[in-house]
Chain A
């Protein structure tokens, strides 16, 4: 199965700052990569699919890039509601796998 490694594990930032999250795959997943935001007690929320396409209703401060094995999620200016855990997921090869997550904290 394809292993996804997310870094850093924790990102300590302030509102208004830029967040850059990384996801690296153990082998190529082409562009079959998604990013999710997860807050305690809530359902995970799809942010990005196809490595760079924003899901419906997602603000344009969220952007995704990359292909193959290296991917990045960027939050251009952190809003208070953006502090959460972010996961990447590959869906190009079965079984679907997730990264270990990056916690974005104040």
Chain B
């Protein structure tokens, strides 16, 4: 059974870069069948898909965040990562990693990690 777990700093200063890692257990991140996504949810607001890594080094980002986002894979560690640059208070949210696929739903999800942007 595949499980995902987010990790990273819970506090980031404004204008700095948010960096999170998702560790995948119970399955290989190298599988071409699956894609690897990040999703976030600001407090009291809805879910927002951030982007995904898939195939042979391909990425797909939400246009609203595209200029600031990078998602990458580390197959040696069975992890994928999120980098979000130039953060502001609006980036304060619970961040989730999840597995999806071509025209597929998100399953499973990680438990989420709260990231606060504050000086």
A residues near B (Cβ < 8 Å) are 1, 32, 34, 36, 41-46, 49, 55, 87, 89, 91-92, 94-101
Contacts and interface: CB of A to CB of B under 8 A. Distances in A.
A43 B96 contact: yes
Given A100-B46, A101-B46, A43 B112 contact: yes
18 contacts: A34-B105, A36-B106, A42-B111, A43-B109, A44-B47, A44-B96, A44-B106, A46-B105, A49-B105, A49-B107, A91-B103, A91-B105, A95-B62, A95-B63, A96-B37, A96-B49, A98-B49, A100-B46
Contacts, number: 53
B49 A46 contact: no
Given A44-B96, A91-B103, 7 more contacts: A32-B103, A43-B112, A46-B108, A87-B47, A91-B100, A95-B63, A98-B49
A83 B87 CA distance: 34
Interface of B: 37, 46-49, 60, 62-64, 96, 100, 103-112
A101 to B, nearest CB: 6
Nearest to A36: B106
Contacts of B37: 96
